[in-house]
């Protein structure tokens, strides 16, 4: 069984767990964004995950980036909050959660080596053109749209 992601889907199951707060990182290199291909599905996703009860948002972001990539965060800037109640994840263990995600633009230290975690099949920097062609986790679709819209505004 694999994780299933829902965004504005009538097939989304009803959550059976409390809401989850998560963070994702926009890590750029040469106009490309770092994404992971998740181990629990064949979906691509931004680097990030759930905030633990004993950490603040930035601590959780730094931990998730380090765990999933081996990179150390140097600086963060809040990009946006994504709280659409239709963003649902059904996990392989039967837990179903509505998620609220805070997205951050992240700078990482240059001297760290990129290392794939056990949670990921692959890490890759993807161009805007490649982002349009991947199978992205549905819960990350509104995040990607907002990011690409901002990039278009900056370039115009």
| Tokens of residue 46, six digits | 């931004």
Taking only the tens place, the pLDDT of each residue in 83-116 is 999 999 999 999 999 999 999 999 999 887 899 8
The pLDDT of residue 118 is 86
Average of per-residue pLDDT across 6-22: 97
Average of per-residue pLDDT across 106-135: 91
pTM: 0.91
- Conformational region of residue 8, where left means phi above 0, alpha means psi within -120 to 50, and beta covers everything else: left
Match 């409390």 to its residue by tokens: 18
Can you give the residue ranges of every domain in the chain? 4-155
Question: For residue 67, what are the CA distances in angstroms to 48, 49, 52, 70?
Answer: 9, 10, 14, 6
Average of per-residue pLDDT across 15-40: 95
Rounded distance between C-alpha atoms, residue 47 and residue 49, angstroms: 7
Taking only the tens place, the pLDDT of each residue in 26-36 is 999 998 999 99
Could you tell me which CATH number the domain at 4-155 has? 3.90.79.10
Whether 151 shows a pLDDT value over 70: the answer reads: no
Whether 145 shows a pLDDT value over 60: the answer reads: yes
Whether 62 shows a pLDDT value over 90: the answer reads: yes
């Amino acid at each position: 069984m694999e994780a299933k992601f829902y965004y504005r889907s009538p097939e989304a199951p009803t959550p059976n767990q409390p809401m989850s707060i998560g963070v994702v990182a926009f890590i750029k290199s040469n106009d490309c964004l770092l994404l992971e291909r998740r181990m629990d599905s064949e979906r691509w996703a931004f680097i990030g995950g759930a905030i633990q009860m004993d950490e603040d948002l930035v601590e959780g972001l730094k931990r998730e980036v380090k765990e999933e990539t081996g990179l150390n965060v140097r600086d963060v800037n809040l990009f946006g909050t994504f709280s659409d109640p239709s963003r649902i994840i059904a996990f392989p263990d039967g837990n179903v959660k509505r998620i609220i995600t805070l997205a951050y633009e992240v700078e990482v230290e240059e001297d760290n080596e990129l290392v794939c975690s056990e949670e990921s099949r692959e890490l890759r920097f993807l161009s805007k053109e490649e982002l349009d062609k991947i199978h992205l986790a549905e819960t990350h679709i509104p995040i990607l749209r907002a990011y690409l819209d901002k990039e278009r505004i900056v370039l115009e």
